[in-house]
Amino acid sequence: MGSLRGGAGGGGGMDEEARIPMVDADEACALLSAATHQYLDVRMWEDFDKGHVAGARNVPYYLSVTPHGKEKNPHFVEQVSALYPKDQHLIVGCRSGIRSKLATADLISADFKNVRNLEGGYLSLLRSANQQQHHPAA
């Protein structure tokens, strides 16, 4: 009788997480400035409306977040597919990088080829842009 803890072959979550392509804020800024990548913001609409990356498109990964749970957008992949071809170079971001990691995994599972999760999310992008303004490269 096997273990309920997921013995042999059971811990696939870590392998899956390791396969999610990541991009840090500095590289993301460079890729977006060079216009080689598009930015997909997966925060909820009200957060997107408070501030977002120039040129970003918004497809919320969650429709609502309450103390009782999160309601995932059941049409997320379909909505992204309506905006972008599956070979589009995308940087996927949320507030802190956790939700966008889930969204990136869903897009990879749906055969998107060139998606990368923004490590640290929109907050890291703001910090990076702020540091570049105060400390321009020589």
Instruction: Give the per-residue pLDDT at 17.
Output: 53
What domain range includes position 32? Answer: 22-134
CA 2 to chain centre: 36
Rounded to two decimals, the pTM is 0.83
Question: Is 10 inside any structural domain?
Answer: no
Q: Span 75-90, mean pLDDT?
A: 98
Helices 121-134, 98-109: crossing angle, 10 deg rounding:
120
Which CATH number does the domain housing residue 108 bear?
3.40.250.10
pLDDT of 8 reads 42
Q: Is residue 90 part of a domain?
A: yes
In a domain, residue 39? The reply is yes
What is the domain count for the chain?
A: 1
Q: What integer pLDDT is reported at residue 129 of this predicted model?
A: 81
Q: Which residues are catalytic?
A: 94
% of the chain with per-residue pLDDT over 90? 75
